[in-house]
Amino acid sequence: MATETMVEPTRRDFLFIATGAAGAIAVGSIVWPLIDQMNPDASTLAAANTEVDLANIAEGQIVTVKWRGKPVFVRHRTQKEIDAARAVPMSELRDPATDESRAQKPEWLIVIGICTHLGCVPLGHQGQYDGWFCPCHGSVYDTAARIRQGPAPYNLYLPPYKFLSDSKVSIG
Amino acid sequence: MSGHSTYIPKSDLARWFESRLPIIGLIHSSFIVFPNPRNLNYWWTFGGILAFMLMSQIVTGVVLVMHYTPETTLAFDSVEHIMRDVNYGWLLRYAHANGASMFFIAVYIHMFRGFYYGSYKAPREVLWLLGVVIYLLMMATGFMGYVLPWGQMSFWGATVITSLFSAIPVVGNSITTWLWGGYSVDNATLNRFFSLHYLLPFMILGVVILHIWALHVAGPGNPVGVEKKSPKDTLAFHPYFTVKDGFALVCFLIFYAWFVFYIPNFLGDADNYIEANPLQTPVHIVPEWYYLPFYAILRSIPSKLGGVIAMFGAIVLFAFLPWLDRSPVRSGNYRPVFKIFFWIFVAVTLALGYIGSQPPEGNMVLYGQLLTAYYFIFFLVILPLIGLFETPLPLPASIAESVLSPVKPPAAPAAATSSAEH
Amino acid sequence: MRRILKDETMSARLHAGLGAIAFAAAFLAFGTPGFSQGENTGSSEAVEGHHAPERQSWSFYGPFGKYDQAQLQRGFKVYKDVCSNCHSINDIAFRNLADPGGPGFSEAQVKALAETYKVKDGPNDAGEMYERPGRPSDHIPPPFPNKQAAIAALGAAPPDMSVLAKARAISRGFPYFITDAFVQYQEAGPDYIYALLTGYTKDDDPNWNAIFPGHHIAMPKPLADGQVEYTDGTPQTLPQYAKDISAFLMWAAEPKLEERKEIGFRVFIFLIVFATLLYFVKKRIWAGLHDEAAHAHP
């Protein structure tokens, strides 16, 4: 009798703990699909690549393409614009980055067209540096899309991209 | 929901909160210490199962809406998009579609349990009526939900059911046009059904809260049908009934999972995988299985208006049950005559369901009419008469006595079961 | 005391059992003749001489069923070489052919395959629609731009094949609709498609079909021995083609079948363990009442 009362509580505890743990697993496994369904679905993930034909983009022109529902700027830079971007000393930059690190090929600058301040779309060929100017809160970017004035903290982001040929680039 | 709470807040914060909104005390008195009759059997666990199914349908439904498009040219494809591209979309959709069937299986068991044990009798008439309201709302919700995938059965089911209203004299056609928002089931219809399909479950939830409130006024009935008289008759809701309901729920989930994971299309109609085509009716239109008995009644009456009245009447009769059954004894266990006719009624309902699924030809029509006749005679004639003439078996003096006192001496067969249980 | 509680539930179970017997008796009395009546008078699928398709053995049947990758690849070839001339399969994207639980083509194969198709895109900067090579994310282009074009060319609109294998799952009637739930029979669709494709048995009438309701089918005999070339040594016969395309269409209609059955099995094991634990917890909690009852009733 005495031994049984000693053994009993541990067995009982084990049973209750195991059942409680199983209940927690059940709740977790039910909740996960409900959360995961809000992640991007297979069709969204699959459509993540955008190909751009560069042959039709004249020097000095900026073309906006859609990638993952966002605007991406493809800018065919003039030599003057490249030189202007390369002449800037790093110390003047809020978010220091060399022009070489911003463009795989100097004449093609490819950036995500979302202002790093609060998500507006900056306007091309505007602002003091003839780069971009964001009309929402006045952020100014240069010809390498680096932040120079205004409230935005970072340069325009670079999307992953690779050149398929001299005239074709795949973004994503 | 059962008078004053015995909940005593432990911390200062809890005391501060409780004096401003005594909700924890409400939960405590309703779902922790609430005294349930100690003899409730497993048929009484379906209330809890239904509460779970309602929440499950609401949650999966809200989530499916994030991916569904209520527009006639896109609805069918958006459902396939859910099935193919959305993460776990197939699981959520199959759980929702089969969940509707599970909800109805549980509600039918719950209703027939109430019927058998006389749960609708005084003082629980309002509780029963609220249940009938929930059932009607469920039928409307299920019907509109079935329209949303915009398959052939969705479209033609919607056409047939909404056309029932055209049977109403004089204003029938105007009502049908109003329901459709056009001259046929179309985009306007799909959009309003979607809106209402989203709304009604929350109305069900509201009525369910009233249903539980009413339940906690008189307390649940029980298998012997004798009211609780002393604390010896009852056990606290927690842990006794939480664990019992929990066990029953998980067993029910095993049944549910069988459908969701292994036979997800078993209860659906293959024609609903064909996109709606307003120019071509499927050869054989059948509603979802849970409407089949009423569909059979509809088709048994060779008159448009008569059929519609009979069908709605068959549902509405449940609301009159507390006044049709005049027997002073609640539980069917103590009513030898009622018991027989009750089980015939159950069999008739199931048989009507089968007939509703078959083409209305040959003998099927005749059988349907005979069974329809029994359905109505049972409610309107047999039930009131049994109440007058039946001699019930002697009732136990109390719940505790029914459970505790007739302790038989451990005879041979009983000993075997009891030792197996130890 | 517990024994008596048990008696209570036993009696309830007995009632349920009686109900089931009454139900069964009701069917024996009139259910079966009624059904055969339905077959003879022939509405719905039950047209004169029509019978449910014969069951085939499928690799994806049952709780552990899986698609046979090689079969799905062959089935896709049949679709591509034959069916796709008339039938669209709009819900399938090229990328799906590389999805897990599918035909198992490699990403590179899918990319190469997609590029052989012309896909309509646009409008471009000039405001015009243009054609470009397909990408894996594109859906397989339909043979006709719309239904009317299909009717104009063929006289009837061939059904889209995306969910055809689920749309053609004929009910087998009583008593199968009950037993099928227990044996997990969900393959009525591919069984029907197989029966249809092998049901062109009158040589003088290419539109006569043994399984099709009414026997006259708008689609003339689509497949014949040797029509599609298999590279893996599988016999190039009509029944083999019919089998492979049916399996492929089942995958097209139910691409998550493998994932569903795998997760389902784990859910089942878990729920059974959970139920067992709860059963013992319940027993233990209610066991305390035994003593209380004994005291209450000395």
- Report how far apart, in Å, the C-alpha atoms of A34 and of each of B54, B62, B189, B317 are: 16, 10, 29, 40
Dump pLDDT digits (tens) for B222-250: 999 999 999 999 999 999 999 999 999 99
Dump pLDDT digits (tens) for B265-275: 999 999 999 99
The one-letter amino acid at A73: F
Rounded-to-5 percentages of helix, strand, coil across chain A: 35, 25, 40
Residue-level length of chain C: 298
Cβ contact C270–A26 (<8 Å): yes
Residues of chain B neighbouring A37 (CB-CB closer than 8 A): 63, 66-67, 86-89, 92
Report the pLDDT value the prediction gives residue C292, as an integer from 0 to 100: 54
Cβ contact C136–A46 (<8 Å): yes
Chain centre to alpha carbon of residue B233: 28
Mean pLDDT along residues B308-330? 95
Least trusted range by pLDDT, from A103-112, B204-213, B355-364, B408-417: B408-417
Mean pLDDT along residues A20-29? 95
pLDDT band at A13 (very low <50, low <70, confident <90, very high): confident
The rounded distance, in Å, linking the Cα atoms of B35 and B32 is 9
Res. B256: pLDDT tops 80: yes
Dump pLDDT digits (tens) for A122-146: 999 999 999 999 999 999 999 999 9
Mean pLDDT along residues A149-156? 94
Q: Among candidates C61, C58, C273, which has minimal Cα distance to B262?
A: C61
Q: Token match 């496994």: residue?
A: A29
- Report how far apart, in Å, the C-alpha atoms of B256 and of each of B6, B43, C262 are: 38, 17, 16
Q: Which helix (H) or strand (E) holds A15?
A: helix A2-36
Beta strand pairing status for A168-171 and A161-165? antiparallel
Report the pLDDT value the prediction gives residue A56, as an integer from 0 to 100: 86
Q: Among candidates B312, B379, B306, which has minimal Cα distance to B120?
A: B379
Shortest Cα–Cα distance, B415 to chain C (Å): 9
Q: Are B334 and B402 in contact (CB under 8 A)?
A: no
Cβ contact A26–C274 (<8 Å): yes
The rounded distance, in Å, linking the Cα atoms of B37 and B304 is 47
The rounded distance, in Å, linking the Cα atoms of A119 and B263 is 47
Average pLDDT, chain A: 89
Listed in sequence order, the DSSP H helices in A37-127 are 42-46, 79-86, 99-102
* C30 in reach of chain A (CB within 8 A): no
Q: Give the chain A residue nearest B66 (alpha carbons).
A: A38
Res. A52: pLDDT tops 90: no
Task: Report B:373-402 residues touching C (Cβ under 8 A).
Answer: 400
Interface of chain A toward chain C, CB-CB under 8 angstroms: 12, 15-16, 18-19, 22-23, 25-26, 29, 42-43, 46-47, 49, 56
Cβ contact A37–B92 (<8 Å): yes
Q: Are B88 and A33 in contact (CB under 8 A)?
A: yes
Report the pLDDT value the prediction gives residue B411, as an integer from 0 to 100: 43
Chains that touch C (3 or more CB pairs under 8 A): A, B
* B92 in reach of chain A (CB within 8 A): yes
Mean pLDDT along residues A80-89? 93
Mutant choice from B156, B404, B421 vs C, greatest count of C C-beta within 10 A: B404
- Report how far apart, in Å, the C-alpha atoms of B223 and of each of B39, C214, C285 are: 7, 55, 21
* Termini Cα distance of chain C: 12
Report the pLDDT value the prediction gives residue A9, as an integer from 0 to 100: 57
* A35 in reach of chain B (CB within 8 A): no
Output the CA torsion B147→B150→B156→B157 (10° steps): -20
Res. B16: pLDDT tops 50: yes
The alpha-carbon radius of gyration of chain B (Å, integer) is 24
Report the pLDDT value the prediction gives residue B406, as an integer from 0 to 100: 54
Q: Which residues contact B257 (CB under 8 A, 6 or more apart)?
A: C264, C267, C268, C271
Q: Are C227 and C242 in contact (CB under 8 A)?
A: no
Q: Among candidates B223, B199, B232, B178, which has minimal Cα distance to B45?
A: B223
Q: Give the chain B residue nearest A38 (alpha carbons).
A: B87
Q: Which two tokens stand for residue C87?
A: 């039938």
Cβ contact B89–A37 (<8 Å): yes
Q: Residues in chain C with pLDDT < 70?
A: 1-51, 290-298
ipTM for the predicted complex comes to 0.91
Dump pLDDT digits (tens) for B131-144: 999 999 999 999 99
pTM of the model: 0.88
Q: Among candidates C268, C248, C209, C270, which has minimal Cα distance to C83?
A: C248
pLDDT band at B152 (very low <50, low <70, confident <90, very high): very high
Q: Which helix (H) or strand (E) holds B134?
A: helix B125-147
> Which residue is catalytic, options A76, A117, A125, A137?
A137
pLDDT over 90, % of chain B: 89
* Termini Cα distance of chain A: 72
Mean pLDDT along residues A2-13? 56
Q: Are A153 and A137 in contact (CB under 8 A)?
A: no
Q: Are C114 and C138 in contact (CB under 8 A)?
A: yes
Report the pLDDT value the prediction gives residue C15, as an integer from 0 to 100: 44
Q: Which two tokens stand for residue B166?
A: 């055209």
Burial class (CB in 10 A: 0-12, 13-18, 19+), B170: exposed
Let me know if A76 is a catalytic residue.
Answer: no
The full DSSP string for chain C is: -HHHHHHHHHHHHHHHHHHHHHHHHHIIIIIHHHHHHHHHHT-TT--TT--PPPP---TT-STT----HHHHHHHHHHHHHTGGGT---TT-BGGGGGSTTTT---HHHHHHHHHTSEEEE---TTS--EEEE--TTSBPPPSSSSHHHHHHHHSS-PPPSTTHHHHT-----TTHHHHHHHHT---HHHHHHHHHHT----TT-TTB-SSSTTSB-SS-----TTSS--SS-----HHHHHHHHHHHHHHHH-TTHHHHHHHHHHHHHHHHHHHHHHHHHHHHHHHHHHHHHHHH--
Residues of chain A neighbouring C99 (CB-CB closer than 8 A): 42
The rounded distance, in Å, linking the Cα atoms of C271 and B105 is 20
Cβ contact A37–B66 (<8 Å): yes
DSSP classification of residue B319: G
